[in-house]
Amino acid sequence: MNFKGRPKLIMVVLLATTFVISVAACARNPEGATTENAQPKKPILKNITPADLARLRWIEGSWRGTGDIDKPFYERYKFENETTLLVESFDDDKFGTASDATRYVLKDGEFGSNNPDGSRAAASAIDANSITFEPVAKARNAFRFERESDNAWKATLTWPATDKAPAGQRIYKMERWPPAEK
């Protein structure tokens, strides 16, 4: 048997196979794709202090949210103490019994939520007029709360593309509720 030239052929086949496997792996999980337990795209801040959170006191109060939705929604934001922000959702503008609640807690320099379903988000940016959260576990969307005035702010939610849906963004306008009398 003549094996002359076979090592080159074997090497070409191995290189081609490696290339095809690499391309297939990248196609299944392209760079930047988010899976359920993926790390956030932006680093989570680990040095937040109670003084940083104090600059966000503008978000405290009762709010009416509108945007690309059928009907408005209502939320109340309240700092329970210097390290915990409680966000309650309500079914109507009476703000009776909360239908849902999420706590954002400062712990070991990280400010984020731990929800009963295991989903988690944490702050990646914070200043006097905004805070941005990135998904950490069992969540896909990032969100940003940005102050527009004493009586208005916007919530911007963004989510990455998946194999079933394109990337997207939704913006909600939050207005102090009830509105201040003029």
Domain contains 123: yes
DSSP-based three-state secondary structure for 26: helix
88-94: list long-range contacts, CB under 8 Å, 24+ apart. Answer: 93/64, 93/177, 93/178
Domain contains 45: no
At 8-27, the pLDDT tens digits run: 433 333 333 333 333 333 33
Beta-strand runs (E) in the chain: 61-66, 73-81, 84-90, 100-107, 110-114, 120-127, 130-137, 142-149, 152-159, 168-176
Global pTM?
0.76
Domain contains 40: no
Give me the CATH number covering residue 162: 2.40.128.20
At 67-95, the pLDDT tens digits run: 989 999 999 999 999 999 999 999 999 99
Domain contains 74: yes
- Model pLDDT, residue 4: 52
Domain contains 20: no
Domain contains 38: no
* Alpha carbon distance, N-terminus to C-terminus of the chain: 98
- Model pLDDT, residue 116: 87
Q: How far apart are CA 36 and CA 41, in angstroms?
A: 13
Q: How far apart are CA 116 and CA 118, in angstroms?
A: 5
Q: How far apart are CA 78 and CA 59, in angstroms?
A: 8
Q: What are phi and psi of 57, to 5 degrees?
A: -60, -15
Q: Could you list the pLDDT tens digit for every one of the 182 residues in the chain?
A: 444 554 443 333 333 333 333 333 333 333 444 444 444 468 999 999 999 999 999 999 999 999 989 999 999 999 999 999 999 999 999 999 999 999 999 999 999 998 889 999 999 999 999 999 999 999 999 999 999 999 999 999 999 999 999 999 999 999 999 987 76
Domain that holds residue 86: 50-176
Determine whether 174 is exposed, middle or buried from the number of CB atoms within 10 Å of its CB (0-12, 13-18, 19+).
buried
- Model pLDDT, residue 80: 98
Domain contains 129: yes
Tally of structural domains, the chain: 1
The angle at the Cα of 68, spanning 64 to 72, to the nearest 5 degrees, equals: 25
Domain contains 18: no
- Model pLDDT, residue 182: 64
